[in-house]
Amino acid sequence: MEGNLQEGIRLFLTKRWKKALQELKQVNTADFTAEESAELVYYLGLCYTKLEQYEDALLYLEQVVTNGSNPLRVYQCRMTLAYIYVRTGRSKMAEFELNRLVSGGFESVQLYTTLAYASWAQKHYKRAVEFYEKALDLDVNNTTALNGLGFILVDTGMDVFRGLRFCRKAVDQRPHNPAYLDSLGWAYFKNGDPQEARIWLRRAMDLAPREQEIKTHMRMVVGDTK
């Protein structure tokens, strides 16, 4: 049974990614135009990404980038490639993709926060701070940038008081995000307030009891370094 490209796209847009992939893989491309073929490759890459089949996703997303006929799709696919590289521990490759966008004149909060995370993963902390600050220049209330910047400032000891302020702002906007609660608890600890730190870390643990980093921070705050 031959699949239908438009049906595959419809399934993707309704977030039925597994069914969308099945449909797209059955599409008969014999009479496809170059534009239709590019459309198919694009959605196959996105489906594989949503299903976390990252190596398969890379094959298709890289084709979209290489083709380069649609600037907005190239932007999206480079961002998605960077996301995959970060998720799979290839931060330098993520940084390469993102820097290509920056050199091409693209700018967005997501681009800068992803660049910041890639820099942080490589222990380039000052550069990560710069990218998070650029993200906040575009959106002063972006919680990803607020939390990321705050955490780096307190964790590295660059500016623990300023970092605490950023972490508080992130939690004020997203009070039920365990990662943000963890950062705030850690920020209080680094500012010499273990009692307040325990309150926020306990809230983080209640929401994400299996998260290892939260457990590690709690052990350090209560004095158990095992």
- pLDDT tens-place string over residues 27-47: 988 888 888 899 999 999 999
Q: Is the pLDDT of residue 115 over 60?
A: yes
Q: Is the pLDDT of residue 204 over 70?
A: yes
Give the pLDDT score at 69: 76
Exposed, middle or buried: residue 148 (CB in 10 Å: 0-12, 13-18, 19+)?
Answer: buried
Give the pLDDT score at 105: 85
* Domain 128-226 class in CATH: mainly alpha
- Give the fold, CATH level 3, of 1-106: 1.25.40
Q: What is the mean pLDDT of residues 91-108?
A: 89
Degrees to nearest 5, angle at CA 64 with 62 and 70: 145
Locus of tokens 């926020």: 200
Phi, psi (5° rounding) for residue 27? -65, 135
Whole-model pTM: value is 0.80
* Structural tokens at position 202: 């306990």
Model confidence at 223, pLDDT cuts 50, 70, 90, reads confident
Please give, one letter per residue, the 3-state secondary structure of the chain.
CCECHHHHHHHHHCCCHHHHHHHHHCECCCCCCHHHHHHHHHHHHHHHHHCCCHHHHHHHHHHHHHHCCCHHHHHHHHHHHHHHHHHCCCHHHHHHHHHHHHHCCCCCHHHHHHHHHHHHHCCCHHHHHHHHHHHHHHCCCCHHHHHHHHHHHHHCCCCHHHHHHHHHHHHHHCCCCHHHHHHHHHHHHHCCCHHHHHHHHHHHHHHCCCCHHHHHHHHHHHCCCC
Give the pLDDT score at 194: 94
- Domains 1-106 and 128-226 equal at CATH topology level: yes
Give the pLDDT score at 119: 93
- All structural domains of the chain with their residue ranges: 1-106, 128-226
CA distances from 142 to 146, 169, 173, 222 (A): 6, 10, 9, 31
